[in-house]
Amino acid sequence: MVLDVALIAACSLIAGLAALPALQAVHRRRASRECSDVASGLIDYAGVVRRGQRGLPLDEALLARARQLRIPEVVTFEFAQHLARPDPQLLADTAQRLALRLKRRVAFERKMLARTAPGRRRGAIAAAVPAIAIFSLRMVGVVTPLPALTLLIAVEAFGCWLLWRVSRVEV
């Protein structure tokens, strides 16, 4: 009975480990979508500043979202915005360049996530095979010892960590 609980726990843990790279990719997609929204907001801001020919403060919500995403180039934009009398054209150009850089970064990241998707899928399938095999053996009546399950979980964790490191896209 203890072995059945250990087997179910091991299979659940392996499933969770196999899902980690996919969950990380979902998180990166969400962050890139947020980054794209910030870039669109910066483009709108640049257009408003160019039309108005005066330096307007950036929306605090947009600035907070950019800070939350930890975009390193935002520091430059904030510096240009906090100048004593910022030239509207300079401010608009700075916002436009930042938006263009963010759009390029998002496009590159999405391309890399798309290119690594088949590898993540194959890695998840390969990670699930030992758990399915052990579970199938248990259904037939073959009992897997607890040290073997522990070793399997350790090897699976290492393999999933390697898969996560290889498929991680940080731009």
Is residue 66 predicted with pLDDT exceeding 70?
Answer: yes
How far separated are the first and last CA of the chain, in Å rounded? 48
The confidence score (pLDDT) of residue 103 equals 92
Q: Where are the domains of the chain?
A: 2-167
Radius of gyration of the chain (CA): 24
| Chain centroid, CA 94 distance in Å | 26
Q: Which of 43, 45, 26, 103 lies closest to 71 in space, CA to CA? A: 103
Is residue 163 predicted with pLDDT exceeding 80?
Answer: no
**Nearest 5 degrees, angle CA 24-CA 26-CA 28?**
70
The confidence score (pLDDT) of residue 165 equals 77
Q: What digits encode the pLDDT tens for the residues 67-87?
A: 888 888 888 777 877 776 777
The confidence score (pLDDT) of residue 104 equals 92
